[in-house]
Amino acid sequence: MRIWLRSTTYLFVAIYFSFANAGSYEDFFVAVKRNDARTISALLERGFDPNTRDPQGQVALILALHGENFAAAEALLARPETRVDLVNAVGESALMMAALKGHLDWCQRLLARGAPVNQPGWSPLHYAATGPEPRIVLLLLERGAVVDAESPNRSTPLIMAARYGKEESVQMLVARGADLKRTDNLNMTAADAARSAGRDRLAAQLTRPGS
């Protein structure tokens, strides 16, 4: 009888925690999307893991920065157990998202927490080169970012900057020795990428005699 009661008690406790955790899981990601720092902090204080992934494999810190929900991001980064090195299902990190959105201060904070500057595939420098803030490009280069990092489609940060980014970003990459002759999987150079985006003046700057 005692064994049966003990087993039953364990079963009820397990069911309770299962429901509690399920509710916390939903509440947590709703709070991230709503920029609800108070709920996030309360859940984390109760032991919820800030590195939990949503059903699409997204990490909360990346979601918060993607949505520019900075109160949520603050609550997450305040916890020492929050990992800044995690990537989502498509290989994006929190640093990459902050770089793409042009948030220099967040890039600095993530780097201070140990966010990796380089990684296989798409890199933070690719995202910074595509984004609106050249100072992030400079920051990453100063922290050791590989200037000619190659993405899965062989694009370099210079190719991305030439097509989408600021001219200042292009100039910074060239000044740091980016290879103007490198091509992507469509055999396009940075000059070709600029030209395809209607940036003829920039394309001319990226075309050298014999290149």
Task: Enumerate the β-bridge partners of residue 59.
Answer: 53
Q: Which of 109, 174, 190, 165 is nearest to 141 (CA)?
A: 174
Residues 111, 210 within the same domain: yes
Residues 79, 118 within the same domain: no
Q: Identify the domain boundary among 83, 105, 126.
A: 83
Backbone torsions φ then ψ of 147, nearest 5 degrees? -65, -35
Q: Identify the domain boundary among 83, 108, 133.
A: 83
What is the rounded distance in angstroms from the CA atom of residue 45 to the CA atom of residue 42?
5
> Angle between the 134-142 and 94-101 helix axes, to the nearest 10 degrees?
140
Residues 124, 209 within the same domain: yes
Tell me the mean pLDDT in the region 85-100: 97
Query: Among 15-24, 115-124, 193-202, where is mean pLDDT lowest?
Result: 15-24
Q: Cα 84 to chain center, whole Å?
A: 9
Q: What is the domain range of residue 113?
A: 91-211
Residues 27, 108 within the same domain: no
User: Domain count of the chain?
Assistant: 2
Residues 14, 44 within the same domain: yes
Q: In this prediction, what percent of the chain has a pLDDT beyond 70? A: 87
Residue 191's pLDDT is what?
98
Q: Report the CATH number that the domain containing residue 166 is assigned in CATH.
A: 1.25.40.20
Residues 13, 114 within the same domain: no
Residue-level length of the chain: 211
Residues 123, 48 within the same domain: no
Q: What is the DSSP string of the chain?
A: -HHHHHHHHHHHHHHHHHHHHHHHHHHHHHHHHTT-HHHHHHHHHTT--TT-B-TTS-BHHHHHHHTT-HHHHHHHHTSTT--SS-B-TTS-BHHHHHHHHT-HHHHHHHHHTT--S--SSS-HHHHHHHSS-HHHHHHHHHTT--TT---TT---HHHHHHHHS-HHHHHHHHHTT--TT---TT---HHHHHHHTT-HHHHHHT--TT-
Tell me, yes or no, if the pTM score tops 0.85.
Answer: yes
What is the rounded distance in angstroms from the CA atom of residue 96 to the CA atom of residue 122?
9
Residues 130, 113 within the same domain: yes
Amino acid found at 159? I
pLDDT digit string, tens, across residues 39-56: 999 999 999 999 999 999
**In whole numbers, what is the pLDDT of the chain averaged over residues?**
91
Q: Cα 28 to chain center, whole Å?
A: 20
Residue 74's pLDDT is what?
98
Q: Identify the domain boundary among 50, 83, 116.
A: 83
Residues 139, 203 within the same domain: yes
Residues 211, 113 within the same domain: yes
Residues 79, 111 within the same domain: no
Residues 151, 192 within the same domain: yes
pLDDT digit string, tens, across residues 155-209: 999 999 999 999 999 999 999 999 999 999 999 999 999 999 999 999 999 996 4
